[in-house]
Amino acid sequence: MEVSRVRIALICQAKTSWVENPGLRHHREGHTYSDRKTYIHFVYRIPDQLALKHLEPGKHQIPFDFKLPVEDIAPSYESDHGLIEYYLEVTIDKTTVDEVQTVRTGITVKAPMRHNLHV
């Protein structure tokens, strides 16, 4: 497969949704509120010497790293009304056809311990 670009991104999104005055029939009588916000969207630039122009079918490894903020980072979270999710997203742009392949995998970010200590 001929490749024009490979992008690796770290993304953190918060999503929320709830129904006000839901009624009795599958939330049809209520009003649904929802929102989505992106807090982190870091893109790793692959160095030219590692840039891939041709990929054979199979598994590939590309070394990368992201530095998360030390302060003010929300941990991963999920409830009935919303979530905070972190995921890595790899996007491959093909050169021979106007096609993009994207793969995502979730990661868990835990709350820093110092925020859990009340001294």
The pLDDT of residue 56 is: 83
Annotation: CATH topology of 3-115: Immunoglobulin-like (2.60.40)
DSSP string spanning 8-64? EEEEEEEEEEEEES--SSTTSSSEEEEEEEEEEEEEEPPPGGG--SB--SS------
Domain-wise residue ranges, the chain: 3-115
Interatomic CA distance for residues 51 and 53, integer angstroms = 7
Q: What is the pLDDT of residue 6?
A: 86
At residue 102's C-alpha, the angle toward residues 99 and 103, to 5°, is: 150
Closest CA to 37 of 18, 17, 16, 14: 14
DSSP letter assigned to residue 67:
P
Its pTM stands at 0.76
Amino acid occupying residue 78: E
Farthest CA pair distance, the chain? 61
- Per-residue pLDDT tens digits for 22-61: 666 665 677 889 999 999 999 998 877 667 777 788 888 8
